[in-house]
Amino acid sequence: MASTPVSQPASERHGNATGVREQATGMLKYARSIRRDLHAWPEIGLDLPKTRERVLEALDGLPLDITLHHTTSGIAAMLTGDKPGPTVMLRGDMDALPMPEDTGLEFASKVDNVMHACGHDTHVAMLAGAAKMLSERKALLAGRVLFMFQPGEEGYGGAEYMLDEGILDVGAHTDGSESPVTAAYALHITSSMPAGFIGTKGGPIMASSDVLQIEVKGKGGHASEPFRTLDPIPVACEIVTALQALITRRIEIWDPAVITVTRLIAGTATNVIPEVARIEGTIRAMSSATRKKVHDGIKRVAEGIAAAHDMEAHVEIVLGYPVTVNDGPSADFALDIAEAIVGPKAVARMPHAVMGAEDFSYVLEKKPGAMVFLGGTPHDKDFRTAAPNHSNRVMFEEEAMITGMAVYTSLALRTLGIALN
pLDDT tens digits along 70-118? 999 999 999 999 999 999 999 999 999 999 999 999 999 999 999 999 9
- The reply to whether 230 and 198 lie within a common domain is no
- The 3-state DSSP class for residue 386 equals coil
- The reply to whether 284 and 332 lie within a common domain is no
pLDDT score, position 1: 47
| Domain limits for position 195 | 10-204+323-415
CATH of the domain at 21: 3.40.630.10
- The reply to whether 130 and 217 lie within a common domain is no
Whole-number Cα distances in Å, 285 to 67, 252, 255, 323, 325: 35, 11, 8, 7, 12
Question: In this structure, is residue 3 part of a structural domain?
Answer: no
- The reply to whether 198 and 230 lie within a common domain is no
Contact by Cβ (8 Å): 209, 282: yes
- The reply to whether 305 and 364 lie within a common domain is no
- The reply to whether 91 and 71 lie within a common domain is yes
At 6, is the pLDDT very low, low, confident or very high (cuts 50, 70, 90)?
low
pLDDT score, position 7: 62
Question: In this structure, is residue 175 part of a structural domain?
Answer: yes
pLDDT at 40 over 90: yes
Contact by Cβ (8 Å): 68, 162: no
- The reply to whether 84 and 157 lie within a common domain is yes
CA gap 58, 55 in Å, rounded: 5
How many domains, the chain? 2
Percentage above 70 pLDDT, the chain = 98
Question: In this structure, is residue 335 part of a structural domain?
Answer: yes
* Domain's final residue, options 318, 343, 378: 318
- The reply to whether 350 and 385 lie within a common domain is yes
- The reply to whether 155 and 55 lie within a common domain is yes
CA gap 144, 180 in Å, rounded: 9
The reply to whether 398 belongs to the active site is yes
Q: Which residue in 321, 358, 362, 408 is the catalytic one? A: 321
* Domain's final residue, options 274, 300, 318: 318
- The reply to whether 32 and 102 lie within a common domain is yes
Model pTM above 0.75: yes
Contact by Cβ (8 Å): 171, 319: no
* Domain's final residue, options 297, 318, 339: 318
Question: In this structure, is residue 66 part of a structural domain?
Answer: yes
Q: What is the DSSP letter of 367?
A: S
Average pLDDT, the chain: 96
- Kindly report the number of other CB atoms within 10 A of residue 340's CB atom: 25
CATH of the domain at 246: 3.30.70.360
- The reply to whether 30 and 73 lie within a common domain is yes
Question: In this structure, is residue 421 part of a structural domain?
Answer: no
State pLDDT tens for residues 112-168: 999 999 999 999 999 999 999 999 999 999 999 999 999 999 999 999 999 999 999
At 2, is the pLDDT very low, low, confident or very high (cuts 50, 70, 90)?
very low
Question: In this structure, is residue 401 part of a structural domain?
Answer: yes
Question: In this structure, is residue 420 part of a structural domain?
Answer: no
pLDDT at 4 over 60: no
- The reply to whether 104 and 238 lie within a common domain is no
Instruction: Find the mean pLDDT for residues 257-275.
Output: 97
pLDDT at 218 over 70: yes
Question: In this structure, is residue 153 part of a structural domain?
Answer: yes
